[in-house]
């Protein structure tokens, strides 16, 4: 019985860690997407200036 309790505790800890890791990945992905969007907008503006 104590083995099952330990396994559940480890499983819960592992799940909480996975949630933290996935949250961090999500935050980094959002930042990268925003930066790519900003670079794209800057490149479009430079293209407009070059065509004038």
pLDDT of residue 6: 63
Give 2's pLDDT tier (boundaries 50, 70, 90).
low
Give the tens place of pLDDT for each residue, 14-27: 999 999 999 999 99
What is the separation of C-alpha 8 from the centre of its chain, rounded to a whole number of angstroms? 28
Is this prediction's pTM over 0.85?
no
39 or 3: which leads in pLDDT:
39
4 or 28: which leads in pLDDT: 28
d(CA 20, CA 32): 18
């Amino acid at each position: 019985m104590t083995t099952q309790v330990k396994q559940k505790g480890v499983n819960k800890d592992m799940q909480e860690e996975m949630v933290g890791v996935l949250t961090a990945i999500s935050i980094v992905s959002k930042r990268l997407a925003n930066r790519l969007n900003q670079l794209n907008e800057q490149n479009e503006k430079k293209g407009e200036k070059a065509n004038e």
